[in-house]
Amino acid sequence: MADELNRRNFLKAAAIAAGPAVIAARGANEKVNIGWIGVGTRGYAGLGWLHTAAANEVQVTAICDTYEGYIARAQDRMQTVWGNKAKTFVDYRELLADKSIDAVYIMTPEHLHHDMTIAALQAGKHVYIEKPLAHTIEEGFDIVKAWKQSGKIVQVGTQNRSSALYKKAKELIKQGMVGDVHYVRAFWYRNSLPNDPAWRYAIPPEATPQNTDFNRFLGTAPKHEWDPQRYFQWRLYWDYSGGISTDLLVHQTDIVNFMLDKTVPKSCMASGGIYRWTGKTDDRDVPDTLSAIYEYDKFHINYSCYFGNDHYGYGEQIFGNEGTIEVMNRQDLTFTPELYRGKAPDDIKNRKTIALSRKDFNQTDDGVFNHFRNFIMSVLGKEQPIAPPPIGQQAAISGHMATLAFKNQKKAIWDEAAQKVTFA
Ligand SMILES: NC(=O)c1ccc[n+]([C@@H]2O[C@H](COP(=O)([O-])OP(=O)(O)OC[C@H]3O[C@@H](n4cnc5c(N)ncnc54)[C@H](O)[C@@H]3O)[C@@H](O)[C@H]2O)c1
């Protein structure tokens, strides 16, 4: 009897530790029902990626978007890839009210992440939320809090963590291949022709105020009259985006945190501006050129981003005192030992150079398939999410610090006790 009680207690504890398993609630043969909020560029592609990642475990039963054209396009994709159509919604709250939906993917502009994620958690859904976690540091902490209260699985869309290349880099660093690391250089460079300005993504010619719900897009952002540029090119405006810092840089601060077991930097200085895309009619707010310097405890990240030359592509370079690891364009990983101008001791000199690419890991994508699958397996209680909200928040804080330092033209200091930024 005592044994039986112990066993029952153990099973109860194990069930709690394994997290809220949807499968237990829904029956072993049922698939996880997914609702998809935002089927724009990322969301449309994601509908296909999820099929590759977990077609046997999930089905997409509902989609929500505020532009009719994208809903129609997503329904076509549903039919071709999944073989079924989904219920459609314009108001995400109506989708969340559907009790048959277990989990949602949220792939909407940054300023909507906060309200949508919290509403989804309160509606009892598991959530995959795209990076950055939220539009401000305070909003990010709200999400972390709501996640803790909910007991649900949340995965933040920083998929580099699920890439075999970065896992390998982390392993090599742990093995001591590069020695001590005090310095990392990270960068993202892009270029495009003068008639194709950075982040001026195509506006569907059919989009009108009648088939596009501009007010729902605005959400809690400042009121604005219909403006298709703001709607389809939201990254260029502070009201909806932190620009380079929260769009691209967060991936890189996140993966540096991952590879080197770092969290939030002590300070950030940032500088830049709109240098390249200065067309007379271009009303963008966010810089196309940004440098940021992060200080940690005896550790430094030197970051740069420029949208006027892509010769060097993008990547992270880990400068150890005994060697260098580079991960470039989410494609290639190299290790090179230090030479010390010909005076390298044998144990360093004998470390073989390494050159690996995704193909060596049978990985065709940037890690997103694994990242999606890890989320679904976590919902099923079989894995732990690799990028839960506290991790997403740490990466986002670095991004927000760069935006705040740039906008205020002051050094942003992280006040660990108060969990907020001050300026020096
Ligand atoms: N992890 C990555 O590598 C990666 C890459 C690209 C984008 N992203 C992230 O994905 C998210 C979406 O980016 P995107 O490039 O697809 O933007 P997008 O503008 O192409 O798509 C956003 C979609 O949200 C819809 N939308 C706007 N307001 C809505 C609302 N109130 N309710 C429902 N739908 C609404 C729009 O109609 C559009 O279809 C962003 O957070 C972005 O940072 C991540």
Domain definitions of the chain by residue range: 2-160, 161-364+389-423
Cα gap 15→113, rounded to integer Å: 30
Answer whether residue 158 shows pLDDT above 80: yes
Residue nearest to atom 39 of ligand 1 (CA): 40
Taking the centre of ligand 1 as the mean of its atom positions, its distance from the CA of residue 104, in whole angstroms, is 14
Alpha-carbon distances, residue 284 vs 108, 197, 198, 280 (angstroms): 19, 11, 10, 11
| pLDDT tens readout for residues 211-258 | 999 999 999 999 999 999 999 999 999 999 999 999 999 999 999 999
What is the identity of the amino acid at 355? A
| pLDDT tens readout for residues 43-82 | 999 999 999 999 999 999 999 999 999 999 999 999 999 9
Cα gap 96→393, rounded to integer Å: 24
Taking the centre of ligand 1 as the mean of its atom positions, its distance from the CA of residue 241, in whole angstroms, is 11
Its pTM stands at: 0.94
Burial class (CB in 10 A: 0-12, 13-18, 19+), 172: buried
Mutate to test the pocket of ligand 1, among 41, 236, 252, 400 (most ligand atoms within 8 A of CB): 41
- How much is the pLDDT for 14? 37
**Which residues have any ligand 1 atom within 6 Å of their CB?**
37-43, 64-67, 70, 92, 107-110, 112, 130-131, 157, 159, 216-217, 219, 234, 247
What is the identity of the amino acid at 83? G
Residues 6+ apart with CB under 8 A from 330: 160, 163, 165, 315, 358, 366, 367
pLDDT band of 193, cuts 50, 70, 90: very high
Taking the centre of ligand 1 as the mean of its atom positions, its distance from the CA of residue 113, in whole angstroms, is 10
Q: Tell me the average pLDDT of the chain.
A: 94
Taking the centre of ligand 1 as the mean of its atom positions, its distance from the CA of residue 41, in whole angstroms, is 7
- How much is the pLDDT for 368? 98
Closest CA to 105 of 167, 364, 113, 204: 113
Largest CA distance in the chain: 81
What is the identity of the amino acid at 380? L
pLDDT band of 6, cuts 50, 70, 90: very low
Residues 6+ apart with CB under 8 A from 222: 239
The bridge status of strand 126-129 relative to strand 103-106 is parallel
| pLDDT tens readout for residues 30-39 | 899 999 999 9
Residue nearest to atom 21 of ligand 1 (CA): 40
Tracing tokens 């300070």 back to the chain, one arrives at 267
Taking the centre of ligand 1 as the mean of its atom positions, its distance from the CA of residue 260, in whole angstroms, is 30
pLDDT band of 9, cuts 50, 70, 90: very low
User: Contact 384/154 with Cβ under 8 angstroms?
Assistant: no
**Beta pairing partners, 414:** 421
Mutate to test the pocket of ligand 1, among 108, 214, 234, 244 (most ligand atoms within 8 A of CB): 108
CATH architecture group of domain 2-160:
3-Layer(aba) Sandwich (3.40)
- How much is the pLDDT for 22? 52
pLDDT band of 16, cuts 50, 70, 90: very low
Q: Report angle CA 88, 79, 38 to the nearest 5 degrees.
A: 40
Taking the centre of ligand 1 as the mean of its atom positions, its distance from the CA of residue 259, in whole angstroms, is 27
Mutate to test the pocket of ligand 1, among 39, 67, 107 (most ligand atoms within 8 A of CB): 107
Q: What percent of the chain has pLDDT over 90?
A: 93
Same fold, 2-160 and 161-364+389-423: no
- How much is the pLDDT for 1? 35
Q: What is the DSSP string of 285-337?
A: -S-SEEEEEEEETTEEEEEEEESS--TT-EEEEEEESSEEEEEETTTEEEEEE
- How much is the pLDDT for 148? 98
Minimum-distance ligand 1 atom for the alpha carbon of 39: 39
What is the identity of the amino acid at 266? K
User: Contact 192/401 with Cβ under 8 angstroms?
Assistant: no
Cα gap 296→224, rounded to integer Å: 40
Residue nearest to atom 5 of ligand 1 (CA): 42
| pLDDT tens readout for residues 256-288 | 999 999 999 999 999 999 999 999 999 999 999
Tracing tokens 């071709």 back to the chain, one arrives at 80
- How much is the pLDDT for 29? 61
Q: Which CATH superfamily is domain 161-364+389-423 in?
A: Dihydrodipicolinate Reductase; domain 2 (3.30.360.10)
User: Contact 106/120 with Cβ under 8 angstroms?
Assistant: yes
Answer whether residue 339 shows pLDDT above 80: yes
- How much is the pLDDT for 100? 97
| pLDDT tens readout for residues 375-409 | 999 999 999 999 999 999 999 999 999 999 999 99
Cα gap 320→332, rounded to integer Å: 18
User: Contact 250/395 with Cβ under 8 angstroms?
Assistant: yes
Alpha-carbon distances, residue 326 vs 173, 259, 333, 351, 416 (angstroms): 11, 12, 6, 16, 30
Taking the centre of ligand 1 as the mean of its atom positions, its distance from the CA of residue 110, in whole angstroms, is 8
- How much is the pLDDT for 30? 83
